[in-house]
Amino acid sequence: EIDKVGSRGHHGDPSAAFLEVLDPEQNNTFTDHYLNVPFDLSKILFIATANTVETIPAPLLDRMELITLPGYTYAEKLAIATNHLLPKQIRLHGLNPEDVKVTEQAMFKIATGYTRESGVRQLERELGAVVRAKAVEYAEAQERKLSNVQPHIEYQPHVAISDIEDILGQEKYVNEVTERTPTPGVVTGMAYNGVGGGILFIEVSQMPGKGHLQLTGSLGEVIKESAHIALSWVKSHGYEIGLTNSRGQNIMEKADVHIHMPSGGTPKDGPSAGIAMVCALVSMFSCETVPATTAMTGEFTLRGLVMPVGGIKEKVIAAHRAGVRKIIMPLRNQKDVVADVPNNVREEIEFVYASTIWEVLREAFEGRIVAREGTVPAAAGGGLVC
């Protein structure tokens, strides 16, 4: 894992050695400083792994070709667990394959209720705990047979969904999307980081004030700018949206707005929450709600254009994992969905592609928020008709 090689210290700088090793112009005569003997490394294919590129020095990263591996879908996790992880744990604990049988429903509950990851490392740990519990039951059953104490109580190899909480305890994770009640000012966004995708909630509230905007949630500069752009657009289009009775009326004349993104300990940045912020602001000012199972991602401009963003496959898989059933995203990202998102995920989610913010508002609020009659937005960018 090359992201963990460390930084310069009194023991040396490992990344500096990698610079020469991975440089095709130099590695044909690489000289080790300890042996002082040149090696020809030019014919070697180096394969490195990393959980994140944030900690890899820029000069070193420039010498490598990045191949991003997306997280697994639930269907893929279940196949891996059934065909590989469970047999491995059974073998490691000294049991036979017929001694532990986990039903598909129980396996799905383990994957959804006890893990929240892009890979399967935690899933393997949980399966190991299940197999250990069954190993204890098996040993106790064998002991009863030998001692002739309650020999009629036979060992049951099957693990049903009703057995999971007895073995692993209460579920660690709940489906935060399906459990959430639609609330004015709260919208589900989509995020991407070095280890996969995820969902995030944008929360907006207003209070008496003088038109100030407060941002919290460990936000970076780019996402703060997106918030200011979103608020500026909503303020300038308050009449067209139906939030004010005249063009000159300021919806924030005597109010302050607070935008918060939960999980304050996790840094957040990037422009892809732009359209979600607009919808959250409109939701708060209009008291209309966006369905909890609707998520969105997309950059937003002051002209009302919806711009493409990255990490689509990871975001969609994470949203599907969280229970999202409708996703609004930029029209120019449609090709990414078709090319990268697995078929089983696409079949269970309704995708809506938008090129302007007016299309986003119409779909997010299911037709309840549209441009005021007589104030038709410009076709290209959703601006005002003067």
- Catalytic positions are 272, 315
CA 141/CA 171 separation, integer angstroms: 28
CA atoms within 13 A on the CB side of 275: 35
The conformational region for residue 47 under phi > 0 = left, psi -120 to 50 = alpha, else beta, is beta
Q: What distance in Å separates the CA atoms of residue 83 and residue 291, rounded to the nearest whole number?
A: 37
**Of the candidates 75, 172, 93, the residue with the CA atom closest to the CA atom of residue 135:** 93
Helices 221-236 and 274-286, axial angle in degrees (round to 10): 40
- Taking CA 117 as the corner, what is the angle to CA 94 and CA 49, rounded to the nearest 5 degrees? 85
Taking alpha carbons only, the member of 306, 136, 330 closest to residue 229 is: 306
Beta-strand relationship, 255-260 and 306-307:
unpaired
